[in-house]
Structure 1
Amino acid sequence: MEFVENKGQWHSLVNFKGDFKTGSFYLENNGYGVLMHHPDDLHALAEQSHGHGVKAGETIPPITLRSFVYQMRFVDAQPGKALPEKPLSTYNNYFLGNDPAKWAGQCRIFQAVTYRNIYPGIDIRYYSDGGRLKYDFIVQPGANIARIRMKYEGLTEMAIRNKELLLRTPVGDVIEQAPYSYQFVDGKKAEVECRYVLANQTISFQVKNYDPSQVLVIDPSIIFASFTGSTPDNWGYTATPGPDGSLYAGGIVFAPPVGTNYPVSPGAYQTVFGGGATEDTFPGYDIAIFKFSSNGANRMYATYLGGNANEQPHSMIVDQQGNLVVAGRSFSQNYPVTTARIGPGGNYDIVITKFNAAGSALLGSVRIGGTGNDGVNIRPKYQGQVGPDGLRRNYGDDARSEVILDASNNIILASCTQSANFPVRGASFNPGGGFGGGVQDGVVLKFNSNLSNYIFGSYFGGSGLDACFVASIDPETGDLYVGGATSSTNLPGDRTGVLTPNYQGGIADGFVTQIRADGSGLVRTSYFGTTGIDLIYGLKFDKNGFPYIMGTTT
């Protein structure tokens, strides 16, 4: 376990937070709190989030996550001064919610924390050893061991069995191993007899035959015995290289409803995850971004981004200064932004966020959308029935979009919308200027480099289903090329003389459209398809200005 410092991103009671496989450990001045989730429920969420256990055509069922909080308080102790130890070279950044006072950058991570003089002459040190959380009481010469009293709150049962301390909760048992106590005598470690004493939910220690003129160490280990197995806490969506050869990886991390709020009250609670992974109004996942060194050996930082509901990253790109741009979607009404939301919003909205090179500050962040789902291809991952649906044919298709930069570091996004009132700006790529029809259109957006200016934005689509998946800039002309998939037979754009001017039939064709560099209109559009199902997933130019496309076909 590692301990992350609190710089305002969590409740003020918390000094440091550590995570174990199925929960979290919160260090305070006068004890600690433990948040645990039932391992079976986490396993079920993990299975569903990976598409296991539900067949095509079936509706994903809800899952109830059972959670529990207990706390330990030192009785009649004085607030100890926290001294973190063994810092790691990496750090975490937190941008959770739209209150900048709660954002925290470059939060240091430590391998141990000591609280000095919680009782006169007695320190406590928390650390991890062999995958187990441990704490040592360090008793200085002359200090009174009888002062140490640890009161546990919220547990369903406490008992001493085989010299070990059993802490029972509704979601599993926690074992504190028999305390190993020792002193150094003539330079050699000498074990001292020590055992737990339990009375009124309070633990103290009985120590025999020790030298009170020497330092005494009491050393239990905490084993979260029942908390093993799969957890749905990491899920990769996108990656991009940095200018120095570093790697940026973006995905989602499990963020149960406690989220950034410290569980100040012990006891049990439940959360119903609608459709397995809490789409829409049920909170469950935040965006996580990890930066690794060029050889992959070192994690340089981790940044957590989100609000009170769900978000996903779809695409990332890094400029030559190392500033990272992340595009995706969010259902959170309090997603962290630096400018007012563009459009009426509602349901999922498109989000674009730019970080500084350290990942520790927002250089810009925007949320844009209409009243329908924006940034969602057909339907969210965990909604409705499992299986193909319209342009959502393959794994991850619900989250396809691409963010790129032009030569001036302006930010361009190719995505999709189901909003007939999506906020457009500038020239329209669709005849008539509005939504093309059907359930969904593609959208193409351009912002300045810090997302403070919405330069242009337009629908792209016909009367069927349309989605813009990828984008690339012609290095010769500066024109923007956008590719994706469609079921529309009447896509906008001149198709005279193109490779495939007409829809080829089947469920979907791929397409590529050329947009003038200034966004003033379309140059031409071409279908790419067969009578089967065809989708374009990649579009890049080589150094000679030739475009290449990549996709799938049946």
Structure 2
Amino acid sequence: MALLAPALAATAGPGAQGALAQVLPHDDPPTASAGPEQSYARLPLSFVRDGGTFTARTAAGTVTLRHGEAVVVPQHGERTGTPVVMGLAGAAQVAPQVQQRLPGVLNDLRGDDPSAWRTDVPTFGRVRYAEVYPGVDLDYHGTTGTLEYDFRLAPGADPDRIAVDFHGAALRLTRTGALVVGTGADRIRQAAPVAFQPSPDGRDAVPARFTLDGDRVGFSLGAHDPSRALVIDPLVLSYATLLGGAGDDRVADIAVDATGAAYLSGWTDSDAFPTTGGAYDTSRSGLDAIVTKLNPAGTALVYSTLLGGSGTDFADTVAVDSSGSAYVAGQTQSIGSAPSRFPTTAGAYTTASGDAGFGDAFVTRLNPAGNGLTYSAVFGGSDQEEVRAIALDPSGAAYAGGYTASTGNASTTFPSSPGAYQLTPRGTSRDGFVVKLDASGARAYATYLGGQSQDEVNGIDVDPQGHAYVTGFAYGSTSDTFPTTSATRFAPVEDNGVDAYLSRLSADGSTLEYSTGIGTDGNGSANNGSDFGYAVAVGPSEGTAYITGTSLTGSGPNGDFPLKHPYEGRNGSCCYGQDLFVAEFDTTRSGDASLVYSTLIGGGGAEGGTAIDVDSTGAAYVGGVVASESQPGDPYDTTPDELGGGAGRGRAFVTKVVQSGSGNAGLGFSTTLQGTSYLDGLGGLVYDETAGAVHVGGTSRSGSLLTTPGAFQTAGAGDRDGFAATVTVGTTPPDTTAPDTTITSGPAAGSTLTGASVSFGFSATESSTFECAYDGGGFAACGTPSPGLSGSDTRTLANGSHTFAVRARDAAANADPTPATRTFTVAVAVPPPPAPPADTTPPDTVITQAPPARVRVKRKATVSVGFTSTEPGSRFTCRVDGGPAQPCVSGAAFRLGRGQHTITVTAVDAAGNADPAPASVRVTVKKKRPRPGAGGGGRG
């Protein structure tokens, strides 16, 4: 049964990002059959456990399960609605059980005290209350913004026992049988119930309808078989998503890793900002920076991390390395003492702030799980600093570009590094800066970049050799121009306005290798002659770079934007002729030859480019904001109705700019994102060449972004909401639907086998290869190597309990996320062990004590012999002079007469093996010589 709160968006996994909206080129609306969109409908509701309470919080409300009740609190912008409490009359009080662990986790890294951080907070997709009535289980779960409560009845259970109380809420039934709970903006609608009985062929429908008795709801069922299980499950409407809570929530940038997972950075001031599981921790202190990772399919959040301190914190930009570590940067105003300040790490660059309350720049590297800091640096001077863009080189070094207003005396200025290109500020307003941090967060170099007026770095990229390319804007005149290299400037020399620029630094930051301004003649006007660079991307050829931004073109003879091989060069008719510009440079050349092409693109209103990426062919993908009305030839075919009227309104766009064979710039495609009117900005753009898709992220105030079925949130909950979208640029949408796997033959669940050989058969819902696992081990290929609809696997297993699992993987590499499993026991009778092999090795006999070789006695001598064997437990036989062998023991005595004698000792082991080479000793017995003078006298 599903309980739907108004626009109540299901939080999936960690964080606040919704499923990616799919937008096709040329404004073709997405269709329900588009491949990736179908997976978004499986986005589950996430619960976070606190003791016996489970809570899911989203941008539009909170769902709490406690004491056997479900409490839904709607959220309407900044107003909290009337809670709706649902309970069961006469139900048993039972402890809840979690049924489904979700992959997403929540991380809260706010403050500079790691002991107070909360990481890897788990989320759950299903909670069960078993036996609330005899034979009746109650399951809470949800998808695409719905809270569902399903009654699952065992055979023989009585459905008439079920009684749902909505405490203090007005109830009514519609003509279609739907249940409406509450009134006004707080009302919750449940579609008419659906009941069925599972069967081998699927499910057998059972007629069902709601019944009302005051504030109590029951169910009236039609004919069914009471001896079979029964499920009561009403249907509901689903909806899609933006990212945001009740306040100001923005997506500033987006990055994509090699797997296609998206990383979004931004900030929030919403109490209801949808973190993983929702209710674990929605407390905040000022604006908090956010970093959210979505899985490649956009169907689940991998993690969402809040980052900041007690003040205001912005995550302006994000990049990701090959290990999946996200690097985020921006500005923090959480300055002070621990634990309320922005989190930092030992050894990172200049973590001690000199800020007087305006804000410092920060660069933070998260670990791949998003639940800890590899490093975090905060740096600045006495005034304001902010990182506007970040880029990474292959070694993991981070390049941060932004601006500093700390241009006072040496003790309070931005901390540059010895040997850097520009050690001190040239003006008293703002200067740009570039900072390089190595993979550990230590400073490699830090340099100012600016003239004597206001200059800022807005975009940065880096080539494989470590050259940093930056763009931004610079106020200039003949006396305080932005630094350029010799004979390279595409802007009027006497420019009193603002110019965009492109600059390239050497790998060690010591040299300005290329720098040029590009723009129009300001003629002293505050509105005309202003050109702003916002984003830069390194091209596929060495030394090439592309920039985009906004040009407020002038009208005089020297005021036109410098065009070369342009697509379009006309000015608009409003907003001071504001058009976006795109330009390609070859920084290995100088002068005019270094400008490959430059073009303006726009309609009759205002356009601006805010993000850019480049593919391997040199085509540029540009994103930004357009506020032009439709006119012939306008690539942004918008209308006043779509714009909604009013100053500052616009729509996000994505445009592909290519060079034709003649060298002129042209449009590969151009599209606006439907429903993004009243847009604040498109912050980030990444082109995925493998997928043929452009990923974008930004901020909308319209609340009407065209989203896809099953997305996280369809309507903006506050003043501003972040959004993410994927624009497919002429390729077939990837297959993200995994096959289902079924075990078709083999041991029954719980069975005991008397044979060690086990065979299973299995099948898939589409042509697939199969992977098997036994007893929790890793999955490995099984069945036949070629794809098919079925397969089999045979193994020989040891005695004991075993679990077999099999999953299908389709041609698009989608693996069944819920493999089929079977648990069984092998109990094969064990035969007695074979007799040990017969012992045929004889022992060796060793004499340990031998008698003297010669013995003199009067008549007979008694001698003893000591002996042993190389095999313990052996017995011995002894013989004298070839006589019969007699049993003997070591130390045996032998009485010998006069003459030569041989004593032979033979060891015999327990197996009866006798030493074939017995040990022997020889003894000679002689008559004892009389002593001199002794005897019977002599002759007389």
The two structures have a TM-score, normalised by structure 1, of 0.66
The aligned residue for residue 33 of structure 1 is 71
1:205 Cα shift?
5.9
Amino acid in the other structure paired with 2:488: L
- 1:107-148 CA distance string (max 9 Å, x none): 5664x5433234453211234579854322223356576765
- 1:222-272 CA distance string (max 9 Å, x none): 669xx9998857865433443x362535255877314469779xxxxxxxx
Aligned with residue 428 of structure 2, among 434, 437, 441: 437
Amino acid in the other structure paired with 1:484: G
SS at match of 1:171: helix
Aligned with residue 93 of structure 2, among 78, 93, 111: 78
The aligned residue for residue 469 of structure 1 is 458
Change in CA separation of 1:305 and 1:229 when aligned onto 2, cut-off 3 Å: closer
CA RMSD of aligned residues (A): 4.9
Aligned with residue 343 of structure 2, among 337, 348, 365: 337
- The answer to whether 1:97 aligns with 2:110 is yes
Amino acid in the other structure paired with 2:428: G
CA distance in 1, matches of 2:492, 2:332: 35
Change in CA separation of 1:510 and 1:209 when aligned onto 2, cut-off 3 Å: closer
Change in CA separation of 1:286 and 1:493 when aligned onto 2, cut-off 3 Å: closer
SS at match of 2:395: coil
Q: What residue ranges of structure 1 are gaps of 5+ in the alignment?
A: 42-63, 265-279, 377-400
CA distance in 1, matches of 2:333, 2:403: 15
- The answer to whether 1:325 aligns with 2:311 is no
1:325 Cα shift?
1.9
Query: How do residues 130-279 of structure 1 correspond to structure 2 at under 5 angstroms?
Result: 133-141=147-155, 148=162, 150-152=164-166, 157-162=169-174, 164-168=178-182, 171-181=185-195, 189=204, 191=206, 195-198=210-213, 215-221=229-235, 237-242=252-257, 244=258, 246=260, 248-250=262-264, 252=266, 256-259=270-273
- The answer to whether 1:483 aligns with 2:497 is no
The aligned residue for residue 56 of structure 1 is none
CA contact (8 A) 2:488 2:516 kept: yes
- The answer to whether 1:551 aligns with 2:572 is no
Change in CA separation of 1:469 and 1:185 when aligned onto 2, cut-off 3 Å: closer
Greater mean alpha carbon deviation, residues 184-193 or residues 113-122 = 184-193
CA distance in 1, matches of 2:206, 2:514: 82
Amino acid in the other structure paired with 1:175: R
Aligned with residue 414 of structure 1, among 401, 404, 414: 401
CA distance in 1, matches of 2:467, 2:538: 11
1:487 Cα shift?
0.6
The two structures have a TM-score, normalised by structure 2, of 0.42
CA distance in 2, matches of 1:102, 1:119: 41
CA distance in 2, matches of 1:372, 1:505: 28
Aligned with residue 365 of structure 1, among 372, 376, 379: 376
Aligned with residue 497 of structure 1, among 447, 470, 486: 486
Give the paired residue count.
473
1:410 Cα shift?
2.0
The aligned residue for residue 292 of structure 2 is 288
CA contact (8 A) 1:164 1:178 kept: yes
Change in CA separation of 1:510 and 1:503 when aligned onto 2, cut-off 3 Å: farther
1:317 Cα shift?
2.6
SS at match of 1:446: strand
- 1:296-353 CA distance string (max 9 Å, x none): 6866735344458876543333323333323334567868735386415545553433
The aligned residue for residue 438 of structure 2 is 448
1:432 Cα shift?
7.8
CA contact (8 A) 1:411 1:449 kept: yes
- The percentage of counterpart residues that share the same residue type is 21
Change in CA separation of 1:230 and 1:16 when aligned onto 2, cut-off 3 Å: closer
Change in CA separation of 1:310 and 1:250 when aligned onto 2, cut-off 3 Å: farther
Amino acid in the other structure paired with 2:323: Q
The aligned residue for residue 857 of structure 2 is none
CA contact (8 A) 1:411 1:447 kept: yes
Change in CA separation of 1:203 and 1:543 when aligned onto 2, cut-off 3 Å: closer
Query: How do residues 50-129 of structure 1 correspond to structure 2 at under 5 angstroms?
Result: 67-74=81-88, 77-85=92-100, 91=104, 93-95=106-108, 97-98=110-111, 103-105=118-120, 107=122, 110=125, 112-128=126-142
- 1:521-544 CA distance string (max 9 Å, x none): 767754343312233344455576
CA contact (8 A) 1:456 1:519 kept: yes
1:465 Cα shift?
1.7
CA contact (8 A) 2:403 2:431 kept: yes
Change in CA separation of 1:28 and 1:245 when aligned onto 2, cut-off 3 Å: same
CA distance in 2, matches of 1:185, 1:290: 37
Look at both structures and tell me which one has the larger radius of gyration over its CA atoms.
Answer: 2
CA distance in 2, matches of 1:182, 1:431: 74
